Amino acid sequence: MTSLTITPGGPLRGTISVPGDKSITHRAVILTALANGVSTVADYCRGEDCLNTMRAFQALGIRIDESVEELRVYGKGLWGLTEPNGPIDCGNSGTGIRLLTGLLAGQDFFTVLTGDESIRRRPMGRIVKPLREMGATIAGRKGGELAPLAVVGSRLRAIAYASPVASAQIKSALLLSALFAEGTTRITEPRLSRDHTERLFQFFGIALRREGATLLLDGRPSVGWNAAPRLVVPGDFSAAAFFIVGATIVPGSDVTIQQVGINPTRTGLLEIMTRMGADIQLLNRREEAGEPIADIRVKSSRLRGVAVGPDLIPKTIDEFPILSVAAAVAEGQTTISGAEELRVKESDRIATMSAELRAMGAQIAENHDGMIVQGLGTTEDNGRLQATHGRSHGDHRVAMSLAIAGLTASASTAIDETACIETSFPTFHRTLLELLTERR
């Protein structure tokens, strides 16, 4: 699917599911590959990003049996990985390449990690620098700032590292390398980023400790950990976010999204949308593999602008594109600040969403670390955007956000370069059509 046309109409109605959480799937594959024995990972994400991580571990000597419903991962323990025959292609996955770099830094073999054009533009120095402090031997373009990365396995030593940014990828890469380091590694963040790695460490019984804002991990455990008989991955909140906003901004909508992860380090959008006046209910709360889960019911409502500051950004980092759509059709002004990290995602999401939504009639002023949006909710068109011919810029979250924006447009909206949606949510269009069909 290289383009997508969205025709606005009536409300979104129905009950849907979204793919398994992408972030958790990456981590589940990694930790089950390092476990002792055979693990089952159910309801995993089948997007290209996660499939590339699975292929990476197959190249590293791990047997993985795939079905639509679950994975069976034949773990070989902490020291069971083997040198691949060639470079490992991580595709579009920043999580994949960064976590693999951390993991492979402590192995006793050579690996080259690369990715697509987008990955080869994204900053890698933020993980390479602390890994080198641990004794890792890593080479890359521009002194290790850019992929491809050549990783020569080394004997690592523990460090105390204060991350300059709240990043789950940096934290997780260092935790994985710390497993193979001598001594106790300490990692401190300026603000708490998503904590899926910590929760899965706890699930597998890995002795990770927390002292305030600092994580402590003793390296080189003698026995490792046992396989997971069954690890269930919750639905991806970042995938659900498109339908949370869509059901809110399309009048008359009523949508329930089943079995969604509601990890508090991921659900900043729920806090923001609730402050904006959204009608959101969390139903049937429970827990799987240490992760809180709920069914999310959303009914349409009028939104009002709010201020979103730096404290909420780590919990909303992947939801910024769809949040900007909500802001564009709300009443009043929304300000987003402290989000400079968005400039180094799959696209410069501040610039991309500002430009694409302005083309749809939104009133947006771009800042270096965010944007100011004058919502259209009080205009003559009452929040309706204009039809346009947009472009994803190769960014899956931009593509899906523009599709939701198109539901409020005056006529059909065309979006080019939508093949990127396959990286995280291959069934996005089909799921959207289910909700549109329900209304008839």
| Residue-wise DSSP of 114-126 | E--TTGGGS--HH
The span from the CA of 142 to the CA of 145, in Å, is 5
Q: Is 287 exposed, middle or buried (0-12, 13-18, 19+ CB in 10 A)?
A: exposed
**Helix (H) / strand (E) containing 333:** strand 333-336
The span from the CA of 364 to the CA of 362, in Å, is 6
Q: Both tokens of residue 61?
A: 């000597």
**CA angle (105 as vertex; 103, 109 as ends), nearest 5:** 105
Based on the residue annotation, tell me whether 318 is a catalytic residue of this protein. Answer: yes
Q: Both tokens of residue 231?
A: 């690890």
Q: In what order do the strands lie in the sheet with 36-42?
A: 63-66, 70-76, 36-42, 231-232
Residue recorded with tokens 């579009």: 92
Nearest-10 Cα torsion for 385, 391, 392, 393: -140
Query: Quick check: 61 and 109 in contact, CB under 8 A?
Result: no
What Å distances lie between residue 295 and 232, 245, 259, 316, 429, CA to CA?
15, 15, 5, 19, 21
Q: Could you say which of 49, 318, 381, 395 is catalytic?
A: 318
What Å distances lie between residue 170 and 38, 108, 174, 233, 400, CA to CA?
28, 22, 6, 22, 26
Beta strands in 126-253 (DSSP E): 137-140, 146-152, 156-157, 160-162, 181-182, 184-188, 208-211, 214-218, 231-232
Closest CA to 102 of 129, 131, 123: 131
The span from the CA of 24 to the CA of 236, in Å, is 9
| Residue-wise DSSP of 345-368 | SSS-HHHHHHHHHHHTT-EEEEET
Q: Where are the alpha helices (DSSP H) in 250-291?
A: 268-276
The span from the CA of 191 to the CA of 171, in Å, is 12
Known catalytic residues are 318
